[in-house]
Amino acid sequence: MPGLPPTHELFGRAALPAYGRPADTPLRLLSLSENATYLVEDDDPIVLRVHRPGYHSLAAIRSELAWMRALRTET
């Protein structure tokens, strides 16, 4: 995928500790398009998305995270 480094999995693994997961937690690639989307396969699975550099602004990322938090708490 143009713009998404072939090392996107390394970036995903580097992010895992920020979510309380060891960097060696199994990842399964779910989708590769504008983003790489992974299933973090452990006892409490989550979905992790890695986007290409500069694809989203910091404000857009913060807005999306706030929206996902609201979905989680209101559903």
Question: Structural domain of residue 24, as residue ranges?
Answer: 8-74
67: helix, strand or coil: helix
Q: Is the pTM of this model over 0.85?
A: no
What pLDDT, in 10s, does the model give residues 10-29?
999 999 999 999 999 999 99
Burial 43-52 (b: 16+ CB within 10 A, else e): eeeeebbbbb
Q: Let me know if residue 1 belongs to a domain.
A: no
Residue 3 is assigned to a structural domain of this protein: no
- Torsions phi, psi of 44, nearest 5? -130, 75
Q: Indicate whether 2 belongs to any domain.
A: no
> What would the 3-class secondary structure string for 8-59 be?
HHHHHHHHHHHHCCCCCCCEEEEEECCEEEEEECCCCCEEEEEECCCCCCHH
Residue 1: the pLDDT is 45
The total number of structural domains that make up the chain: 1
pLDDT, one tens digit per residue, over 20-59 is 999 999 999 999 988 899 999 999 999 999 988 788 899 9
Residue 58 maps to a domain = yes
